[in-house]
Amino acid sequence: MSSELRNASKTLLKLSKKRIICTLNHRRCHSSFPTAVETAEKLVQPRSKATFNDPFSIVSHEMSNLAKNIASLIGSGHPTLNRVSSYYFEAEGKNVRPLIVLLLSKALSKIPIEERNRIPIDKSDVSDQPQYKGTPQATSIAGNSVDDSISPLQILHGINPRVILDPLSKPMDKLPQFDSVNGILPKQRRLAEIVEMIHTASLLHDDVIDLSDSRRGRPTGNIAFTNKMAVLAGDFLLGRASVAIARLRNPEVIELLSTTIANLVEGEFMQLKNTVLSNNESTISNDGETKTIPSATGKVPIQDDGFSVDVDHQTNVDAAFEYYLHKTYLKTASLMSKSSRAAAVLSGSQDVVIENCYEFGRNLGLCFQIVDDMLDYTSSDLAIGKPSQADLKLGLATAPILFAWKEKPELGELIGRKFKNPGDIEVARSAVDEFQGVEKTRLMAEGYCLKALENLRVLPESDARSALELLTNSVLTRTK
């Protein structure tokens, strides 16, 4: 089995490189990524009856209970708030982020316990499971159940302690005890739920900001419930997630997850600015409206269109790509990378494993969003469950148009004014087709995919690691 898995990884790498070379030479290549995934899947199928056809099956029990467990975390005493905050959980989503956390947690459990001693593994997590008997279990700050409150309940109850409306201020349903066969710790399961709550809160806010009208095949929260309710529900989810984060009782994990919330906001502000070309900080432009920021002295600031004409074109393009990738990290990859690192921290793994888990999430997150930006140019509204070609309409300069701009400098003026003039969008779309912007974007995504696969090799060979490899490759071939 060990040699077969090694051969599978080599096969994936060879076929991936072959595809890249073929694309670069603009030739038709018969070895597609789906073929690579199919070939690898056949090679890594375990001989036991417990085979898997997709990554979900490895953690199907945990994933099937995800929405139910989240519902127990976000309930409030207000029926309308309950309805709005649970709205996106009702529709079938990708659930990629919690899936990554759970698969990674299962893969980390295959590391021998003596090699997972960076922090003490919580007694409350593993109880008396055989594989943990006899191991040193020092008292840890992370030592109490994720279901137990830190503050006294009478304080969390609020004004009227006889009316308990807040599920986080009372004992909740206990998480299942640690399963020695499954290997996922209760704190890692709660981590997966927290990650999905943070992500969903960001969707509620993003749809208001972007004036979106559909997501996951139905009206967005702002359309169904108004902008105010959608924003408040997103805030509520972040508040609930913050309490659950604190109850993980691990300072490093609390720090990691808290910064992801800040990163989401930072990334959104970068997107509002759009590109590094827009260096004018005296005005704010959004949704077709430009406002002058009042100064402390009351003087009117000097206006600047923000377009850097004194810098050579290549430097402008390089700076724009750097800006785009940093924004992409903050908006998408930060949550994937820091939650992956948090899963490794909770497992007690050593620093080299923790670093590779972080890099895996970072590379996969960048690949995921770059593919998403590519699909905006190639997929229909029905296929992706939201309006297609929305980025240009929002004035966003993503990878496809940046690659076209590299070859056609005059596109810089369109990018600088966020494609707001009549005909700008049509010119930009035509340039993307002319200079193979979509194809070059796919190559960029494939590069990050290969890096993510390399990061996974620090983990022991297992079904969970194989499932993570299949998941990583499927990000490239997804159509929605």
Closest CA to 378 of 388, 390, 363: 388
Is 234 in contact with 268 (CB distance < 8 Å)?
Answer: no
319 and 185 share one domain: yes
Task: List the end-to-end C-alpha distance of the chain, in Å, as a whole number.
Answer: 34
**Hey, what are 329's tokens?**
């990290």
Q: Is 281 part of any domain?
A: yes
Closest CA to 179 of 218, 141, 128: 128
3-state secondary structure of 306: coil
Looking at residue 125, what is its pLDDT? 57
- ∠ Cα 262 268 274 (to 5°): 140
27 and 56 share one domain: no
23 and 58 share one domain: no
| Residues of the domain holding 26 | 1-46
Q: Is 238 part of any domain?
A: yes
355 and 371 share one domain: yes
> Count of domains in the chain?
2
67 and 119 share one domain: yes
- Report the alpha-carbon distance of residue 328 to residue 282 in Å, rounded: 25
DSSP state of 120: P
Q: Is 62 part of any domain?
A: yes
Q: Is 260 part of any domain?
A: yes
Q: Give residue for tokens 């309308």.
A: 80
Looking at residue 71, what is its pLDDT? 87
70 and 26 share one domain: no
Q: Is 285 part of any domain?
A: yes
For 428, other C-beta atoms within 10 Å of its C-beta total: 22
The pTM of this model reads: 0.79
42 and 153 share one domain: no
71 and 28 share one domain: no
Report, in angstroms and rounded to the nearest whole number, the Rg of the chain calculated over CA atoms: 24
Which residues fall within 8 angstroms of residue 15, CB to CB, at 6 or more apart? Answer: 31, 33, 35, 36, 39
33 and 102 share one domain: no
Looking at residue 479, what is its pLDDT? 81
CATH number of the domain that 241 lies in?
1.10.600.10
C-alpha dihedral sign at 335, 337, 341, 343 = positive
C-alpha dihedral sign at 197, 202, 203, 204 = positive
Looking at residue 404, what is its pLDDT? 97
Looking at residue 480, what is its pLDDT? 75
Q: Is 419 part of any domain?
A: yes
Is 106 in contact with 185 (CB distance < 8 Å)?
Answer: no
DSSP state of 386: S
38 and 61 share one domain: no
- pLDDT averaged per 10 residues, the chain (length 480): 48 46 40 42 39 72 87 85 92 87 95 86 53 45 64 66 48 48 84 96 94 89 96 96 93 96 93 64 61 58 46 88 95 97 95 98 97 88 58 90 96 90 93 96 97 98 94 89
Looking at residue 478, what is its pLDDT? 87
183 and 319 share one domain: yes
For 370, other C-beta atoms within 10 Å of its C-beta total: 29
Residues forming beta bridges with residue 292, ordered by sequence position: 283
Q: Is 300 part of any domain?
A: no
3-state secondary structure of 345: helix
78 and 11 share one domain: no
Residues forming beta bridges with residue 442, ordered by sequence position: none
